[in-house]
Each structure stands twice: as C-alpha cells, then as structure tokens.
Amino acid sequence: GNTIGKRYARTDEIGVPLAITVDNTTSVTVRDRDSKDQIRVEVDEVASVVKEVTDGQSTWADIMWRYPAHTASAAEEEEASET
C-alpha cells in the first residue's frame, strides 16, 4: 500500500501547496509543501486555515504560530526522501 510519506512526495511533485491528512474524528494534519512543516488543526477550523493561506490573508509562518506543530515520524521522512 501507499504510505503517507510516499503520498506527500507525490503531491509535492505535482505542486500541491497544502496537504491535509485526517488523523482522527476531531483533528487533521496540514502540511506545507515548501517547508514540509506540519500543524494539527481541528476539523471545524481546517477550511478557514487553508482559505487564509491561499487567499494571502495569512502566511504559513502566521499559521504556525497559532497551531501546534506536528512532527512527521522518521519513517515518513525516510520514505519521502526515497521517492
């Protein structure tokens, strides 16, 4: 099967600026393509966060200050670098 690291690498290649991964019923991880930084966001806030960044109302750095960082596992990082 496809691992999350390989999926991130594939979306990076085609230029997807923000990737959203559903973690559980209440939160998602949002990943920035350029920095590869990840944040955890409540499901009910994710649409407004993405809109803020894509509309230029906030920078990714602004968003990073407001939400907790989510660290990729070593396995995810290794898989992404292999592709």
Does the pTM exceed 0.85? no
Give the pLDDT mean for 17-38. 93
CA 11 – CA 5 distance, rounded (Å)? 10
Angle ∠(16,60,17) on CA atoms, nearest 5 = 5
**Going from the N-terminus, what domains does the chain have, and what CATH number goes with each?**
4-82 (3.40.50.800)
Instruction: For 37-78, write each residue's pLDDT tens digit.
Output: 999 999 999 999 999 999 999 999 999 999 989 986 544 555
